[in-house]
């Protein structure tokens, strides 16, 4: 299928933030094949999208999400004290994930995908947990993603927090099973939008034997690892107390660091550990809103990380909102990191997407040969919009409410704020029903 976005202004979201005026963007199947003035006039197109007075940008990437949090919004349950990070986990998140079943995971995936696309996010890197529904859970998450049409990856967060080594083994087995399922689908020629990673909760709930199993899973599947690290001081203290070493040293000894590894949070990693992450060319996800919500502190070493990407840690998929709040929090800390730095880190999520899919396709630019994951904005700039100030417009002006039309893999998944072929009202109504059932279950679960 050939699609043409006609007479549009394009804006790249990585330096030097080039802008082109009044061009056509031609898409054949999943790839951009031409960008230029009247580029679509010489081609017979199956679909034409009018881009006049619109701005076209590469799709945003949420580089760390928790789709299982989709049904937690406004959750009404009885909970005990939450004065430190471990209490927050035990009283809230670890009770929620124990209340999830197949139906809950499915509707969480549907609504998180819809919310993300509506906010201009075309890819979500998910990190999943549902201790009472492990086997098959990643396929359920992937099904919701692909039915809505968002791109992404998912993994199961290996942990021993509920069932010791047996739970660790089941988590590793689910990561491997899903990766093999994805490989089989690709061999059959099927279109795959959701890839696999090898997930782990955090080092303080993964014993050395579990890290060994994760290392073997990374090797056998060829996937990268996705892991929380040093979100709170407790993770660091635990590593020093139990293992007598820094967290990154543990991971390095278990051969879990590589250029496909995604380290998340990292607030309390030391200078040597940041150097180690950079040495191995790991991705590093900053989640500003979540850090504030959990009261764990602020990532002051943000400027020292080479491959910084931006996630939400389950606080939705709206990256315009995430970027604004993270930027203003950083300014409040009186640290040097500017709109261009944040927008560049957000776009770098496309390098993570390339790493996850590993098939040579390129993402994150409006350029011939790149995959057509694109967002059309109805944004009227009240001041000149140039490459020198494009990132400032992104942070200070552009918002999810400007998102008009979204393409993923060259296909229109939202057009003029409507989702073609999807009964959105029914999905949200069913999600509310499932959420109430989950809340009732969670309320009976004790930490």
Q: What pLDDT digit, counting tens, does each position of 200-235 carry?
A: 999 999 999 999 999 999 999 999 999 999 999 999
What percent of the chain has a predicted confidence (pLDDT) above 70? 100
DSSP string, 88-113: HIIIIIHHHHHT--HHHHHHHHHHHH
The DSSP code for 78 is -
pLDDT digits (tens, 9 = 90+) for 370-395: 999 999 999 999 999 999 999 999 99
The enclosing H or E element of 286 equals: strand 283-286
Distance (Å, whole) CA 151 – CA 145: 7
Return the pLDDT at 365.
Answer: 98
Return the pLDDT at 286.
Answer: 97
pLDDT digits (tens, 9 = 90+) for 87-125: 999 998 999 999 999 999 999 999 999 999 999 999 999
Q: Is the pLDDT assigned to residue 41 strictly greater than 90? A: no
Return the pLDDT at 20.
Answer: 98
Distance (Å, whole) CA 296 – CA 268: 10
16 upstream amide cis, omega within 30 of 0: yes
Spell out the domains of the chain, with CATH numbers in brackets: 2-59+370-414 (2.30.40.10), 60-357 (3.20.20.140)
Helices (H), 190-259: 208-221, 233-238, 247-253
* Paired sense of beta strands 2-11 and 47-50, if any: parallel
Q: Is 156 helix (H, G, I), strand (E, B) or coil?
A: strand
Neighbours of 90 (CB within 10 A): 17
Phi-psi group of 63: left, alpha or beta (phi > 0 → left; psi -120 to 50 → alpha; rest → beta): alpha
Return the pLDDT at 256.
Answer: 98
Distance (Å, whole) CA 282 – CA 267: 16
Contact 63, 310 (CB under 8 A): yes
Model's pTM, two decimal places?
0.97
The tokens describing 160, both together, are 């021993």
Classify residue 446 by burial, with Cβ atoms within 10 Å: 0-12, 13-18, 19+: exposed
Contact 172, 200 (CB under 8 A): no
Tell me how far the alpha carbon of residue 250 is from its chain's centroid.
25
pLDDT band, very low/low/confident/very high, at 42 (cuts 50, 70, 90): confident
Question: Which residue in 3, 19, 7 sits closest to 365, CA to CA?
Answer: 19
pLDDT digits (tens, 9 = 90+) for 332-348: 988 888 999 999 999 99
pLDDT digits (tens, 9 = 90+) for 292-338: 999 999 998 899 999 999 999 999 999 999 999 999 999 898 888 89
pLDDT band, very low/low/confident/very high, at 192 (cuts 50, 70, 90): very high
Distance (Å, whole) CA 3 – CA 412: 9
Return the pLDDT at 425.
Answer: 98
Question: Which residue in 437, 376, 380, 430 sits closest to 403, CA to CA?
Answer: 376
Contact 224, 197 (CB under 8 A): yes
Helices (H), 258-338: 271-279, 288-294, 319-332
Find tokens 């009283």 and name the residue.
91
Distance (Å, whole) CA 383 – CA 376: 19
């Amino acid at each position: 299928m050939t699609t043409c976005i006609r007479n549009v202004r394009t804006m790249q979201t990585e330096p030097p933030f080039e802008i082109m005026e009044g061009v056509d963007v031609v898409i054949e199947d999943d790839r951009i094949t031409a960008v230029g003035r009247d580029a679509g006039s010489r081609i017979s197109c199956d679909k034409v999208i009018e881009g006049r007075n619109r701005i076209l940008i590469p799709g945003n990437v949420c580089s760390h999400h928790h789709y299982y949090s989709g049904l937690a919004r406004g959750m009404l349950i009885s909970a005990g004290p939450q004065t430190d990070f471990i209490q927050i986990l035990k009283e809230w998140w670890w009770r929620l994930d124990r209340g999830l079943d197949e139906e809950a995971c499915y509707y969480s995936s549907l609504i998180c995908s819809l919310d993300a696309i509506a906010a201009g996010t075309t890819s979500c890197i998910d990190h999943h947990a549902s201790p009472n529904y492990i086997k098959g859970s990643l396929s359920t998450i992937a099904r919701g993603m692909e039915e809505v049409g968002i791109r992404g990856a998912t993994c199961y967060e290996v942990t021993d927090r509920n069932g010791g080594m047996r739970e660790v083994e089941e988590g590793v087995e689910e990561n491997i099973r899903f990766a093999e399922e994805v490989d089989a689908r690709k061999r059959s020629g099927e279109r795959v939008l959701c890839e696999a990673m090898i997930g782990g909760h955090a080092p303080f709930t993964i014993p050395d034997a579990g890290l060994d199993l994760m290392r073997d899973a990374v090797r056998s599947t060829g996937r990268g690892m996705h892991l929380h690290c040093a979100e709170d001081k407790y993770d660091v203290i635990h590593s020093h107390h139990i293992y007598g070493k820094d967290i990154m040293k543990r991971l390095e000894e278990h051969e879990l660091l590589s250029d496909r590894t995604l380290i998340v949070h990292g607030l309390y990693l030391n200078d040597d550990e940041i150097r180690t992450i950079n040495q191995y060319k790991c991705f590093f996800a900053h989640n500003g809103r979540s850090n504030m919500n959990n009261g764990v502190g602020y990532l002051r070493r943000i400027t020292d990380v080479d491959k910084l990407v931006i996630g939400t840690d389950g606080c939705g998929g709206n990256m315009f909102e995430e970027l604004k709040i993270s930027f203003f929090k950083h300014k409040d800390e009186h640290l040097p990191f500017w709109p261009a730095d944040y927008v560049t880190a957000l776009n770098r999520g496309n390098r993570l997407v390339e790493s996850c899919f590993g098939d040579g396709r390129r993402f994150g630019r409006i350029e011939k040969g790149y995959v057509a994951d694109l967002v059309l904005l109805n944004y009227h700039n009240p001041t000149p919009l140039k490459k020198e100030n494009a990132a400032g417009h992104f942070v200070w002006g552009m918002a999810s409410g400007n998102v008009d039309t979204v393409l993923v893999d060259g296909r229109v998944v939202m057009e003029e704020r409507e989702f073609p072929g999807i009964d959105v009202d029914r999905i949200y109504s069913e999600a509310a029903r499932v959420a109430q059932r989950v809340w009732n279950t969670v309320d009976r679960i004790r930490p």
